[in-house]
Amino acid sequence: MFKYLAVPMIVAAVAVSASANQPLATEGGWFSAGMMEVSQPSDRPVEQAISAGGLEYSLPLSLLAAPGDVDSLDPEPSGVRGLLETEIKFLISPDLDSFRATRSGGGWIRSEEIDGVGSVMPSVRGGIVIETENVDYSVTVGGIGVLNGAFGAAGIVGDFAAHFKVSKKVSLGVHAGPVYFFKPSWFGDGDVDFTSASMGLIGGFSMTIEFNKTLSLRAMVDGVLAEPFNVEGSGGWSVNQDELDISGIAAGAALMVRF
């Protein structure tokens, strides 16, 4: 009896073996039961193959991302966006420390002078940023000021910048733009008059760190080149120089909002 069962068992085994090596058509790919392979269509993004228990499967990038990191798989943004930049710099102007105004009479001498070489330079600008895969270009214009314990001046500034992306969150770049300062005001009690405005240029190097697609922080080191302000004394006051130059080196940071 067993010899009659042996033939159909052998035939069945051969049939199973043959069917195991035949590819089975499936939706979205094919299966080979002998190797247990699963292939995705070539037009889907694939990062790496995962193998377990003889099963090899290539997963889409979005499935391999850690929770909360799906946005990081998106392509770099491109196009034109609005930009608002609030900036504060500390300016070192070597010429400031030598300025002095004096008045004498009745056997006494009164003097007012600039103590130190430092000034604060705040700025608020608005404009656009052109985002590309590797470089961001920005154009902004706004208000600027220079302020210390002796005088202060308001002005208008423009800035043109190009920042090259060295990683997804960090970029390095250069920027430059014209600046115009109106006539300053003297904060002391002496009659010191500024008789001219100043036109100049601000430019330098900067590094940007992006917190997200909207908010960024930028640090910069700049050179400031400006025409000297003409200055003179009145009402019995005299000055030791007829020009005041704020040119120097500035360093600071800016908070940037893209919208």
Is residue 27 predicted with pLDDT exceeding 50?
no
- DSSP-assigned states of every residue in 151-187: EEEEEEEEEEEEEEESSSSEEEEEEEEEEEEPPPEE-
| Per-residue pLDDT, 98 | 84
- Report the sign of the C-alpha dihedral through residues 237, 241, 245, 248, in that order: negative
In a shared domain, residues 26 and 134: no
Task: Say whether pLDDT at 1 is over 80.
Answer: no
Residue 54 pLDDT level (bands cut at 50, 70, 90):
low
The Cα 222–Cα 174 span in angstroms is 10
Concatenating the DSSP letter of every residue in 31-89 gives: EETTTTEE---TTS---EEEEETTEEEEEPHHHHSPTT-GGGGSPPP-EEEEEEEEEEE
Place of tokens 């090899």: 56
Q: Which of 173, 254, 248 is nearest to 206 (CA)?
A: 173
Most confident among 103-107, 193-197, 234-238 (mean pLDDT): 193-197
Give domain status of residue 232, yes or no: yes
User: pLDDT tens across 157-192, in order?
Assistant: 999 999 999 999 999 999 999 999 999 999 988 899
Is residue 241 included in any domain, yes or no? yes
Closest CA to 163 of 140, 136, 127, 138: 136
Q: How many domains does one find in the chain?
A: 2
**pLDDT over threshold 80, residue 150:** yes
Structural domain containing residue 58? 15-64
- 108 and 214 both lie in a single domain: yes
Q: Where do we find the tokens 């704020």?
A: 246
pLDDT tens profile 88-147 = 999 999 999 889 999 987 778 888 989 889 999 999 999 999 999 999 999 999 999 999
Give percent of the chain above pLDDT 70.
70
Q: Does residue 144 sit within a domain? A: yes
Whether residue 104 sits in one domain with residue 199: yes
DSSP-assigned beta bridge partners for residue 221: 205, 251
Between the alpha carbon of residue 229 and those of residues 25, 153, 182, 198, 250, the distances in Å are: 83, 11, 9, 6, 19
User: Cα separation of 207 and 27, whole Å?
Assistant: 50
Average pLDDT score over the chain: 81
The stretch 210-223 carries a mean pLDDT of 96
Same structural domain, 149 and 252: yes
Q: What is the CATH number of the domain that holds 185?
A: 2.40.160.20
pLDDT tops 60 at residue 44:
no
Q: Which of 67-76, 197-206, 233-242 is the least confident region?
A: 67-76
Are 125 and 193 in the same domain?
Answer: yes
Q: Is residue 69 part of a domain?
A: no
pLDDT value at 231 more than 90:
yes
Same domain for 164 and 233: yes
100 and 165 in a single domain? The answer is yes
Quickly list H helices, the chain: 2-20, 61-64
Interatomic CA distance for residues 38 and 31, integer angstroms: 5
Q: Is residue 7 part of a domain?
A: no
Q: Are residues 97 and 25 in the same domain?
A: no
Residue-level pLDDT at 33: 40
> Would residue 182 be called left, alpha or beta, if left means φ above 0 and alpha means ψ between -120 and 50 degrees?
beta
Name which of 129, 159, 119 is nearest 142 in CA terms.
Answer: 159
Q: Which residues is 173 bridged to in the sheet?
A: 163, 206
Is there a single domain that holds both residue 97 and residue 217? yes
Whether residues 135 and 214 share a domain: the answer is yes
Amino acid at 228: P
Six-digit token string for 113? 């002078």
- Beta-strand relationship, 55-59 and 37-38: parallel
DSSP state of 253: E
Same domain, 215 and 252: yes
Please check whether residue 90 lies inside any domain of the structure. yes
In a domain, 33, yes or no: yes
Q: 49-58, 81-90, 215-224: lowest mean pLDDT where? A: 49-58
pTM (2 d.p.): 0.69
Do 102 and 28 sit in the same domain of this protein? no
pLDDT value, residue 70: 46
Which among 172, 165, 159, 176 is positioned nearest to 131, based on CA atoms?
A: 165
Selection from 254, 172, 167 nearest residue 207 by Cα? 172
The per-residue pLDDT for 12 is 47
- Hey, which residues does 207 pair with through a beta bridge? 172, 219
4 located within any domain: no
